[in-house]
Structure 1
Amino acid sequence: MARRTQRTTASLSFPVWAWLVFFVFTPLALVVWYSFGYKPDLFTAVSTDQLSFDRYGEVLDGVFMPMFWATLRIALTGTLLCLLVAVPFAYWMAVKVDPRWRPLLLALVLVPFWTNFLVRTIGWQVILAPSGMASDVLNAIGILDGPLDILYTRGAVQLGVVYNYLPLMILPLYVVFERLDPSQREASRDLGAGRWRTFFSVTVPDALPGIASGCLLVFIPLMGDYLTASVLGGARGTMVGQIVARQFTSAQNWALGAAMAVTLMAFVLLTVLIVAALFLLVRAVVRRARHLDLGVSP
C-alpha cells in the first residue's frame, strides 16, 4: 500500500519534474556549457571544442561590471520604491476597505497584466516625451518652463520599472495583511499603543514574510529586465540585461553572452543571500524588541 502511494505521488509529480528538467535545468546547463566556449570566427556563434574560463575574464574586465552596478542601483531603488508605495496601499486595501470592494480593487491592480508588457512601456514613452502629456501638464501648472527632458535617461527607466513591477509587490503584501489577526492590533491599542506604534510594532513584524516575498518577486526579474531600458533608457539608461541580449543577437557571441548571463545569475544570487541575511537579522532584532516591550525574555 505504501509503495502504491509512493508510485502515485511520483506519477502525479512527473509533469512538474519534466517541466523543470526540460525548461529550466536543461537550458541553464546549456548556458553554463556555452560560457566555457569561444567564438571561433565571424559566422559561428559558439564553439566548445576548447573549454576555458577566458570568457569570464572578459566579463569582469569589460563594460559588464559598470553596467551591473548601475543595474543593481536601479533594481534596489526600484524595489524600495515599490515597497514604500505598496505597503500603505496593500494595508489600506486589506484592512480599511469594505470587503465587498476588495475584489474590484484587486482586479484594478491586476489590470496592467492584461496588457502586453511592451505596450505598457511604450505608453510611458509617449507620456514622458518632450511633447507628451506629462510635459504639457507640468508646464501648465508652472513646475516647468520648457519641454520635459526625462525620456531616455535612468530616471525614465526607474519610473518604468516601478510602474511595471509594482503589482508584484502589492499582491503578496495584500495577502499577508488580510490574514493578520485583527485582535492583535486591538490588543496593542488597548495597552496604550498608538496607530503608528501598533503598525510598526505589530503589523509590520507579522508581515515580514510577505515583504520578503514581494521584494524577491520584484528584485529578481528587475535585474534581468532589458525591455524597459531599451524603450525608455536609450544610451543613458542602459541596463545589464541589454548587454547580455546583444551578445546573443547582434554580436552573435553566445559564449561571451552565456558567461555574462551566468555571472549575472551568480551576482543576483549573492545579492539575494546578503539581503536574506540582513532580513533575518532585522527579524531577530524586531522579535527581541517585541519581547522586551512585553516584559518577557526572548
Structure 2
Amino acid sequence: MSTNSSRSYPQLMARLMGTGALAFPTWAYTLFFFLIPVAMVFYYSFGYKPDLFNPVATDSLSFDRYQEALSIPVVNALINTLEISISGTLACLLIALPFAYWLATKVSPRRRNLLLALVMVPFWTNFLVRTLGWQIMLAPEGFLSDLLLHLHVLEQPLGILYSRAAVQLGVIYNYLPLMILPLYVALESTGSQLREASRDLGAGRVRTFMDVTLPLAMPGVISGCLLVFIPLNGDYVTASVLGGARGTMVGQLIAQQFTTAQNWALGSALAVILILTTVLVVLLGAVLLKLASWLYHRFSDIHLEVSAS
C-alpha cells in the first residue's frame, strides 16, 4: 500500500500542479540562491554609503556609483581580469583537450577511473589551501627555486611570486579539472566507430579529428570553457595570494568594498559591471566560434571542390 502510494505521489503532483512541479527544487534553488541575490546586488548598486557605520542606503537612487566604479584603476583591473581569464581559459583548453582525448580513446577502461580520480584529487583540498601551496612553492626560498638553482637552470632565486605570471599559473592549476571533466565525457561518448569509419574512407588523423571528433566533442568544449571562464572572472583568492600590483583582478576590488571598506553600493556596482562584462565576452565568444566554424567548413568545401576538379 505504502509502496503504491509513494510511486503515485509524483504522478499525483504532476496532475495537480503540472509537470513543472517536479522541477520545483531546481527553480527554488535558482530563485533563492541566484536570482534574488543578483537582484539585491543590482538594486544596491544604485544606492550610496550614508556614513561610516552603515554599508548602504537606498533612499536616494542614482548612477553615481557606476561613474565612481568606472575609474581608470578599476578599468585597468577589469582589462587585467579579462586578459587573465581569457588566456587562462585558452591555456586550460589547450592542456585539457589532448589529455582528455588520450584518456577517452587510448587508455584502457580499467585505468580510466584511477586517472579520473587523480584529476579530482585537487578538488578534495580547500581552494585556499591549494593556492597557498603554490605560494610556498613559488617563493624565492621555496622548493622549486632551490631545485632550479641546484640544476643550474637559474642563477638567482625564482622571482615569479607576486606577479601576473604567478596568478596565471595558479588559475590554470585551480581550474584545469573543470575543463578536463566535460571534455572527457564528450569525447568518451562519441565512441570509436565514427573515427574508424572516417579513416576507412581515406581521412587522415588530423582531418578525422577536425571533422568528426571535435564537432562531436564541441558541447564539452563549450561547457568546459564556460565552467572555467565564468568563475575565473570573479576569482579573487588566487590574485590575492599569488598576485601583486600586476595581478590585481576585479574580484579583489569587489571583496575589498564589501569587507574592508564596507561600501556595499560601490561593491555592487563593480559586481554588476563584472557580470555584464562576462556576459558580453561569452556572447562575443559564441559569435566568434560560429564564425570560425563557418569559415572552416567554407574552406573545406572549396578544397573538396578544387580536389574533385
TM-score by length of 2: 0.90
**What RMSD in Å do the two structures reach over aligned CA positions?**
1.9
Q: Distance in 1 between matches of 2:242 and 2:213?
A: 37
In structure 2, relative to structure 1, the CA distance for the partners of 1:2 and 1:114 (3 Å cut) is: closer
- Is 1:44 paired with 2:68? no
In structure 2, relative to structure 1, the CA distance for the partners of 1:145 and 1:47 (3 Å cut) is: same
Q: Tell me the alpha carbon deviations over residues 103-162 of structure 1, each in whole angstroms, 9 at most, x when there is no partner.
A: 111111111111100111011011101011111121122210110000010000000000
Contact 2:88/2:168 (8 A) holds in 1: yes
Contact 1:201/1:290 (8 A) holds in 2: no
- Is 1:205 paired with 2:215? yes
Q: CA deviation at 1:235?
A: 3.0
In structure 2, which of residues 187, 197, 215 is the aligned counterpart of residue 187 of structure 1? 197
Gaps of 5+ in 2: 1-10
Q: Tell me the alpha carbon deviations over residues 208-236 of structure 1, each in whole angstroms, 9 at most, x when there is no partner.
A: 22111111110000000000011111333
Q: CA deviation at 1:286?
A: 3.6
Secondary structure (helix, strand or coil) at the match of 2:190 reads coil
Q: Distance in 2 between matches of 1:169 and 1:86?
A: 6
In structure 1, which of residues 54, 63, 66 is the aligned counterpart of residue 73 of structure 2? 63
AA matched with 1:54: D
Q: CA deviation at 1:11?
A: 3.1
Mapping for residues 57-206 of structure 1, pairs under 5 Å:
57-206=67-216
Q: Report percent identity of matched pairs.
A: 60
AA matched with 2:168: Q
- Is 1:18 paired with 2:28? yes
Secondary structure (helix, strand or coil) at the match of 2:109 reads coil
Q: Distance in 1 between matches of 2:106 and 2:280?
A: 38
In structure 2, which of residues 277, 282, 299 is the aligned counterpart of residue 272 of structure 1? 282
Secondary structure (helix, strand or coil) at the match of 1:19 reads helix
Secondary structure (helix, strand or coil) at the match of 2:110 reads coil
Gaps of 5+ in 1: none
Secondary structure (helix, strand or coil) at the match of 1:100 reads helix
Q: Which range moved further: 194-203 or 208-217?
A: 194-203
In structure 2, relative to structure 1, the CA distance for the partners of 1:138 and 1:40 (3 Å cut) is: same
Q: Distance in 1 between matches of 2:22 and 2:190?
A: 33
In structure 2, which of residues 293, 297, 305 is the aligned counterpart of residue 283 of structure 1? 293
Q: Distance in 2 between matches of 1:161 and 1:191?
A: 42
Q: Distance in 2 between matches of 1:6 and 1:101?
A: 48
In structure 2, relative to structure 1, the CA distance for the partners of 1:156 and 1:220 (3 Å cut) is: same
Q: Tell me the alpha carbon deviations over residues 40-92 of structure 1, each in whole angstroms, 9 at most, x when there is no partner.
A: 12222111110001111111124211100001000011001101100100000
AA matched with 2:257: Q
Q: Distance in 1 between matches of 2:279 and 2:27?
A: 22
Q: Distance in 2 between matches of 1:237 and 1:290?
A: 42
AA matched with 2:94: L
Match of 1:246 in 2: 256
Secondary structure (helix, strand or coil) at the match of 1:37 reads coil
Secondary structure (helix, strand or coil) at the match of 2:122 reads helix
Contact 1:205/1:286 (8 A) holds in 2: no
TM-score by length of 1: 0.93
Q: Distance in 2 between matches of 1:6 and 1:106?
A: 43
Match of 1:255 in 2: 265
AA matched with 2:104: A
Q: Distance in 1 between matches of 2:14 and 2:90?
A: 49
Q: Tell me the alpha carbon deviations over residues 232-282 of structure 1, each in whole angstroms, 9 at most, x when there is no partner.
A: 113331111000110111111110100000011001100000001111222
Mapping for residues 222-233 of structure 1, pairs under 5 Å:
222-233=232-243
Match of 2:38 in 1: 28
Q: Distance in 1 between matches of 2:279 and 2:268?
A: 16
In structure 2, relative to structure 1, the CA distance for the partners of 1:193 and 1:13 (3 Å cut) is: closer
Match of 2:6 in 1: none
Contact 1:37/1:49 (8 A) holds in 2: yes
Q: Distance in 1 between matches of 2:137 and 2:23?
A: 47
Contact 1:205/1:283 (8 A) holds in 2: no
Q: CA deviation at 1:204?
A: 1.7
AA matched with 1:211: V
Q: Distance in 1 between matches of 2:72 and 2:48?
A: 16
AA matched with 1:269: V
AA matched with 1:75: S
